[in-house]
């Protein structure tokens, strides 16, 4: 009970006791803790919860990212990735995408497909691609498309979200990644991604997916113009949905990266801010089993450091297959790790490396 001794008589005494007792904290308590607690206190609490939920395990998988195009009908201000029609970008053909999958052989267990929102492609275009991928690798898990991509491709196919998601599942979709959530607050969201789906639409799509038996991930885009209250509100909306549908696998804080986009003038937040965001996510999201440090975005060293602040998941090997963060200025311009490097990074901080599948079944303990 040393931590209770340290915070005795301070404003956060009560909320720290609640966290230590395994009780849920309110939005107000979350904001108080975020604003008043020392980094070491947040770290201690997040670490306690991480140990209770996941012991010494640090999860990773072997995955390939496929980014079919960076052509996009939207123009999110934080995005360094999109190209409008007529601008120089890429658009992989079906054959090229299938080649990317077959080139990996059985080195991967998951393909993670996201990209720009292409003006023409719809549920059936991508659905038949899923079928072709599964024809090459029947056992591969397809985790594809942020909510905003799904809602667009459903509209293009004249389908409701429920019809479109059910069709995608039939075609071979296994789960949905967490992107597109950005920040839910209704004042901030339109300022950073004015034309994108609303927070309500993002949450609704994930809820429908969960009810259809399609699990998903969740993210937050932090470190731009949002406040601490906006961050906790975002976590709270996710926690409420998870209470209702229990379909989220993992939460991934995404740090705003400043290169080559319209918000570059904001700069980037400090590592201290990063650590606090991850620790608070672990503390607040009591109904999420896993917190992921996405190393191509945050960097390998900081990802390793975050293992002491609530993180238990390292995403995957990636195989140099994503451009989202290299274009936004991430340190690692060709993100790739083999299994040995991943395992060594985890073991170097005294944890057990666990290869998982996409829904956290254990495949191998190193």
Residue ranges that bind ligand V47, judged by CB under 6 A: 78-80, 114, 146, 177-180, 182, 217, 219, 221, 252, 254, 256-257, 261, 294, 315, 324, 328
Measured from the CB atom, the residue of 149 and 233 that comes closer to ligand SF4 is 149
How many other CB atoms sit within 10 Å of the CB of residue 73? Answer: 15
Packing angle, helices 27-36 and 13-20, rounded to 10: 110
In sequence order, what are the beta bridge partners of 248?
A: 216
The interface mask with ligand SF4, positions 54-73, x = CB under 6 A, is ------------------x-
| Residue 20: both structure tokens together | 């230590």
Q: What per-residue string of b and e applies to 165-186 under the rule 16 or more CB within 10 Å gives b? A: bbbbbebbbbbbbbbbbbbbbe
Q: Does 144 contact ligand SF4 by CB under 6 A?
A: no
Of 117 and 173, nearer to ligand SF4 (C-beta) is 117
The C-alpha atoms of residue 316 and residue 327 are separated, in whole angstroms, by 19
* CA-based nearest residue to 284, from 40, 11, 45, 4: 45
> Does 82 participate in binding ligand SF4 (rule CB under 6 A)?
yes
Window of 79-87, 104-112, 248-256, 338-346 that interacts with ligand SF4 by CB under 6 A: 79-87
80/281 with CB nearer ligand V47:
80
* 202 interacts with ligand SF4 by CB under 6 A: no
Of the pair 86, 105, the CB lying nearest ligand SF4 is at: 86
Place of tokens 């019809």: 163
* Residue 295 interacting entry, from ligand V47, ligand SF4, none, C-beta within 5 to 8 Å by type: none
**Total residues at interface with ligand SF4 (CB under 6 A):** 11
DSSP code string of 255-273: E---TTSTTGGG----HHH
User: Site residues for ligand SF4, window 148-167 (CB under 6 A)?
Assistant: 148
> Which partner, ligand V47, ligand SF4, none, binds residue 75 by CB below 5 to 8 Å per kind?
ligand SF4
Question: Which of ligand SF4, ligand V47, none does residue 82 bind (CB under 5 to 8 Å by kind)?
Answer: ligand SF4
In sequence order, the 6+-apart residues with CB closer than 8 A to the CB of 133 are 97, 98, 101, 111, 140, 142, 172
Helix (H) or strand (E) holding 208: helix 199-211
Interface residues toward ligand SF4, by CB under 6 A: 72, 74-76, 79, 81-82, 116-117, 148, 193
């Amino acid at each position: 009970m040393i931590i209770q001794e340290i915070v005795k008589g301070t404003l956060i005494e009560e909320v720290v006791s609640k966290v230590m007792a395994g009780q849920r904290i309110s939005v107000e308590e979350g904001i108080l803790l975020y604003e008043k607690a020392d980094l070491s206190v947040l770290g201690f609490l997040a670490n306690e919860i991480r140990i209770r939920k996941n012991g010494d395990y640090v999860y990773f998988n072997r995955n390939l990212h496929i980014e079919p195009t960076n052509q996009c009908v939207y123009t999110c201000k934080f995005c360094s990735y999109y190209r409008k029609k007529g601008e120089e970008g890429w658009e992989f053909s079906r054959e090229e995408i299938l080649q990317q999958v077959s080139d990996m052989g059985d080195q991967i267990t998951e393909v993670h497909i996201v990209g720009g929102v292409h003006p023409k492609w719809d549920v059936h275009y991508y659905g038949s691609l899923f079928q072709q991928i599964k024809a090459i690798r029947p056992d591969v898990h397809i985790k594809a498309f942020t909510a905003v991509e799904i809602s667009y491709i459903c509209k293009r196919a004249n389908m409701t979200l429920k019809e479109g998601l059910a069709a995608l599942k039939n075609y071979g979709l296994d789960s949905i990644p967490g992107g597109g959530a950005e920040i839910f607050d209704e004042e901030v969201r339109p300022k950073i991604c004015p034309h994108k789906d609303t927070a309500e639409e993002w949450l609704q799509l994930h809820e429908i997916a969960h009810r259809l038996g399609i699990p998903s991930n969740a993210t937050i885009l932090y470190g731009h113009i949002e406040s601490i209250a906006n961050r906790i509100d975002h976590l709270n909306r996710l926690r409420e949905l998870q209470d209702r549908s229990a379909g989220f696998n993992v939460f991934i804080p995404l740090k705003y990266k400043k290169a080559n986009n319209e918000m570059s003038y904001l700069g980037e937040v400090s590592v201290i801010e990063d650590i606090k965001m991850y620790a608070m996510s672990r503390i607040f999201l009591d109904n999420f089993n896993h917190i992921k440090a996405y190393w191509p975005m945050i960097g390998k060293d900081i990802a390793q450091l975050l293992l002491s602040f609530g993180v238990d998941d390292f995403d995957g090997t990636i195989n140099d297959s994503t451009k989202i963060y290299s274009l936004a200025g991430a340190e690692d311009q060709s993100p790739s790790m083999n299994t040995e490097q991943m395992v060594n990074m985890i073991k170097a901080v005294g944890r057990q490396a666990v290869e998982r599948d996409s829904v956290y079944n254990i495949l191998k303990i190193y």
